[in-house]
Structure 1
């Protein structure tokens, strides 16, 4: 299984090539790696680990769903590829500014929250790890925007309650760090 995760990491690293985190000069891929490592502390499911590494690929890179699906189906067993792809799609924001310029941030986030409320428990687990990693970074580097983002995260966590319970509690704590 390590060979599969290594190949997924290489794919995600390549997809995020040249991207850095918003507030630090570290390569963007460091975030998905931290999300995966946090998930690994709570589950041994390789599809969750793979999706954690890929959770921002469709949203933040030039890779589209067809390319990602082809890669996954060429790398792993059919059921694992479908499962991984499902989680990545569930975690990819749909109501983005580029596609919905008529909506303000609050409206887009509400629509996204309504959509997220229906994602699988395993995708929720990945979302918790994503929230934990982003919350800690934003609180340090942009306390003013952190108030907005952490409030949005608290709303998300009120609706996403079916993932790993220990990770959920950590995410709630992280999202409450400024309140």
Structure 2
């Protein structure tokens, strides 16, 4: 059960993702951010963390801008909570993407993301654990060649981001290790 503020943030994220669907299922995209937020809520009740979990893919996967998110958040959160939520969303948004680095191979882009994520705060890393856990479970069910790539990349990333919630870190490591 989501409180009113989280419900509003979920609706904003849902509208931002529009008609997008999950890559490996026919589900609407919003099911993933909701699951990520629910995983995070098992370990924290901090509103900016839960809000950022719902919004973690908006900048990366939609035309919605930082300014648009911030303007919306200021209508439902305090300025301090808005600032923290925005920083988490920005920290969780991949920088080394194919569109920006078209001449880099995937492995090089992912290596640079590991180094970038290493510098993020514990809360951002906690959300990333939940993201990896949810994506990993979905991808592993598909038994595609991509599953092995994703799991290898996730294991590598986790070596660089040990600052998040320790129980969730242990949970995601156990879930994605062979």
TM-score category by the smaller chain? over 0.9
Cα distance, 1:140 vs. partner? Answer: 1.1
Residue in 2 that maps onto 1:104? 105
User: What residue ranges of structure 1 are gaps of 5+ in the alignment?
Assistant: none
Counterpart of 2:74 in 1: which secondary structure? helix
Residue in 2 that maps onto 1:93? 94
Mapped partners of 2:12, 2:63: distance in 1: 12
Cα distance, 1:175 vs. partner? Answer: 2.0
Mapped partners of 1:175, 1:30: distance in 2: 21
Number of positions where the alignment pairs a residue of Structure 1 with one of Structure 2: 177
User: What residue ranges of structure 2 are gaps of 5+ in the alignment?
Assistant: none
CA gap of 1:142–1:97, structure 2 versus 1, over 3 A, is: farther
Runs of 4+ in structure 1 deviating by more than 3 angstroms, as ranges, are none
Mapped partners of 1:130, 1:117: distance in 2: 16
Cα distance, 1:154 vs. partner? Answer: 0.4
Residue in 2 that maps onto 1:118? 119
Residue in 1 that maps onto 2:72? 71
Q: How is 1:150-165 mapped onto 2 (pairs within 5 angstroms)?
A: 150-165=151-166
Residue in 2 that maps onto 1:2? 3
Q: Normalised by the size of structure 1, how large is the TM-score?
A: 0.96
